[in-house]
Structure 1
Amino acid sequence: MEPDAVGSVDRVEHGSDTAVRYDFSANCNPRIPDGTRDVYRAAFERARSYPGGYDAFRRAAAAFVGCAPQQVIPTAGGMAAIRLTIETTVTASSSVLVPTPSFGEYAREVHLQDATPVFVPFEELLTSDPGDHALVVVPTPNNPTGGLPGRDELLAFVDRCRSAGTVVLVDEAFLGFTDQSSLAGTPGVVVARSLTKLFGLPGLRMGYAVATGGMNEQLHNAVEPWAMGVPSAAVGAHCLAASEFVTRTRERVRRERKRLTEALSVRFEVAPSRAPFLLVDVGDDPGPDSIRRSLRAAGIAVRDGTTFRGLDTHIRIAVRTSEENTRLIDALLDV
C-alpha cells in the first residue's frame, strides 16, 4: 500500500443496517448452519492460544471449492483476500481492469496502491484486452447486477490473460449461492472467497484466497500472521461442511428471487440475477432517495444503488426469507 495514496482515497460506508427490523441492504444469508453456536462456544478455550496452521479449515475449504488444501490461504473475510491479492500484484505504475458497475472496494484498493483502475462495463469485461494490465478483477456473480458469465467463457478469458501475463482475481463471494463450480486451482487465477454471505456470519470475518504456483507462494509469504481467529477457523470449517444447508439455501434463493422479480417487475425494471440480490431501477418518480426513506419508515432498509458507479435511479435488495420478501414486495409496490 502506498502511504501517499491513503489520504486521497474516499470510503463509501456499507454493510449491515441494525437500526431497522428488516435489513435488505446487506446480502447475507438470514440463516446459519445448525450447530454453529456450539462450535463457536467450544472454540473459546482454544482461543486462549495463538492459531495454529488452520489445517482443518484448509481441508474444508479445499473440499468445498475443489482444490488442494495447500492452495488455500485463510484470511479475515473475502475482502482481506482481495486486498492481499492487489497488494502483492499491483504497483504504483500498474493499471487494473475493473468492471462497472461493481463492488466499489475493487477500485478503492487499486487507488490505495496509487495504481490506476481502468473501468470496463461488466458485460464487456471478458471481451476486453487484458494486455498491459497487471490484474483483472472478475466478480462471479457481479455485485450489484447479479450477472454471472458461464464457466467456459471465464476459462477462455483466463487463457487470454495468462498469455498476456495478467493475473486474474476472481471474486467468488456469491458463487456459493449458485451451482456453478469454482475456478479455484486454475493457473493464473487468484480466487477470493467469503463465508460472510452464504453462511450469514459477517461479524466473524471468515474468508480465503486460492492460488497456484508462484502466486500461491507470494500470497503465503505476504499474508499477515494469525490472519483468522481460532473461533472463526472452527466455525468456518463447520460451515463449509454443511452441504445440506447450502443446498437448501440455493433452492430458497432461486425460488424467492424468482418471486421477487415477478412481483416487482409489474412496476419496476429488475435486472436478471444469479445472485442473492436484485438490482432494481425505480426510475425518477419518486426516485430512489424517496423510496428508501419510505421503506425505512416501514422498518425496511435497502442498499442505495446510486453509490455504484454509473447508477443513478437504482436500489439493491437482498433475497431473504419468504415472509420478509412478502413484506418488501408489499411496501415497495405501495410507495
Structure 2
Amino acid sequence: MDPDAISAGDRVPHGGETDRDLLDFSANTNPRTPTGVDDAYAAALEESRRYPDDGYPAFRAAAADFVGCGPERVVPTPGGLAAIRLAMETALEPGDEALVPYPSFGEYAREVELQGATPRFVRYDDLTELGPTVLEPCALAVCCTPNNPTGDAIDPDALASFAARCADAETTLLVDEAFLGFTDRPSMATLDREHVVVARSLTKLFGLPGLRAGFAVATGERRAALETARRAWSLGTPAARVGTHCLRRETFVRETRTRVASERERLREALEERFDVHDSDAPYLLCDVGDRDVATVIDDARAAGVAIRDATTFRTLDSHVRVAVKDRTANDRLLAALGVRERADDDPETER
C-alpha cells in the first residue's frame, strides 16, 4: 500500500443502517440465515481460546465445493472486500493503471488508489468488450457480476472471452462475485486461469454481514502470491466455523434463490408504477426516481420506518435509489413506505 495515497485517501459511502428501529433496505443482505448457525457459533466460541488452524482445511474444502474448484486454490479472507484488497495489493504497484467499472462498487477505485495506482473508468457494460489497445497498458481489470448497483450479471461466455483477452494482454482480471451466489450462474473459479482472481463474500448470501467471512480463488503464481501475502489467522474461528457450516447448506441456497427471484419480480412490477426500474439478477433493484428529489424520497421512506440506499453516491447516477429484495412481509413494508400499491391482479388477496 502506498503511504502517500493513504494520506490523500478518504472513506467510501455504503449501505447499512445503524438505527435498529428502521427496516434496512439499504444493505443487500439475506434477511434469513441457515439453521444451525447459532450452534456452530457457540461451539466456535469455546474453540476461540486457541489460535485457529491457519490452514483452514474445512473452510477451504467447503468453499471449493461451493464454487467448483480445488481446495488448494482457496485463500480465506475476512470478507469479500478483504479478498479484493489482497488481490490489488499483489497485482498493483504505484504508477500502474487499473480498469474500474462504473457505476459500480465505490471501493474498487479507492483500493486502486490506496496502492498508488490510477483507476481508469469504463462503463460496466462495455468492459468485457475491450481489446488489447485498452488492456495492455493496464495491470488490472475489475469486473463485478452481478454488478452493484445495477444488478445485471455478465454472460459467462462473454466473461470467459474477456478473461482470455486479459491473459493475452498480461492483465490480471479480478472478478467480484459478491452476489453471484444469489444466482445459479457458474463461478469464474471454474475457469482456472492463472491471471484470474475471484473474490467471494459469504455474508450477503447467508445474512451475516457482521461475521466478515469470504475468500479469494486463484491458481499458479497468482494463488501463491495471495497465500503468501494474506495475514496469518486471516479468519477468526467463529467466522471459519460458521462459514463452513453455511457453505454446506445447499437447500438453504436453493430456497433463497427461488425466493429472491420471485420477490424481485414482484417488487419490480410494483415499483415500475412509480419509478424506472433496472433489470436485475441480484437481490436488489436500482430505481430511477425521475424528476423527484432523491433526498425527499429517502426521507419519506425513512419517516415510514424504512431505510433505502442513496444511489447518487455511485459514479454518474444522479436520480437513483437502490432497494434490497427481502422477504414478502418486509417487501410489502417497503412498497408502502415508497407509496407504491401493487396492481390488483398481482395481489393474492384479490384471487380469493
Structure 2 length as normaliser, TM-score? 0.93
Matched, 1:280 2:281: no
Q: 2:309 aligns with which of 297, 303, 316?
A: 303
CA deviation digits over 1:124-146, x for unaligned, max 9? 01012322110100001000000
The CA distance in 1 between the partners of 2:179 and 2:40, in whole Å, is: 24
- The one-letter amino acid paired with 2:246 is C
Q: 1:139 aligns with which of 104, 121, 144?
A: 144
Matched, 1:124 2:126: yes
Q: Percent identity?
A: 55
Q: Structure 1: which 5+ runs fail to align?
A: none
Alignment check: 8 A CA contact 2:270 2:340 kept: no
The residue aligned with 2:12 is: 12
The CA distance in 2 between the partners of 1:292 and 1:105, in whole Å, is: 23
- The one-letter amino acid paired with 2:272 is S
The residue aligned with 1:96 is: 98
Number of matched residues? Answer: 334
Q: 1:204 aligns with which of 193, 211, 215?
A: 211
The CA distance in 2 between the partners of 1:280 and 1:334, in whole Å, is: 13
The residue aligned with 2:108 is: 106
The residue aligned with 1:179 is: 184
- The one-letter amino acid paired with 1:3 is P
CA deviation digits over 1:155-182, x for unaligned, max 9? 0000000011011000000000001010
**1:14 to partner: Cα distance:** 1.9
Matched, 1:225 2:227: no
The CA distance in 2 between the partners of 1:236 and 1:66, in whole Å, is: 16
CA deviation digits over 1:297-328, x for unaligned, max 9? 11100111000000010000000010111111
Show the 5 A alignment for 1:1-335. 1-19=1-19, 20-52=21-53, 53-129=55-131, 130-185=135-190, 186-187=192-193, 188-285=195-292, 287-333=293-339
**1:331 to partner: Cα distance:** 1.9
- The one-letter amino acid paired with 2:106 is G
The CA distance in 2 between the partners of 1:122 and 1:110, in whole Å, is: 17
Alignment check: 8 A CA contact 1:139 1:170 kept: yes
The CA distance in 1 between the partners of 2:28 and 2:69, in whole Å, is: 26
The CA distance in 2 between the partners of 1:50 and 1:170, in whole Å, is: 31
Q: Structure 2: which 5+ runs fail to align?
A: 342-352
The root-mean-square deviation of aligned C-alpha atoms, in Å, is 1.1
Alignment check: 8 A CA contact 2:22 2:302 kept: no
- The one-letter amino acid paired with 2:182 is F
Alignment check: 8 A CA contact 1:5 1:112 kept: yes
The CA distance in 1 between the partners of 2:143 and 2:172, in whole Å, is: 11
- The one-letter amino acid paired with 2:153 is L
CA deviation digits over 1:196-218, x for unaligned, max 9? 11001011100000000000000
**1:21 to partner: Cα distance:** 2.6
Structure 1 length as normaliser, TM-score? 0.98
CA deviation digits over 1:21-76, x for unaligned, max 9? 31000000000000001000011121111110210000000000000001000000
The CA distance in 2 between the partners of 1:44 and 1:139, in whole Å, is: 34
**1:283 to partner: Cα distance:** 1.5
The CA distance in 1 between the partners of 2:40 and 2:31, in whole Å, is: 19
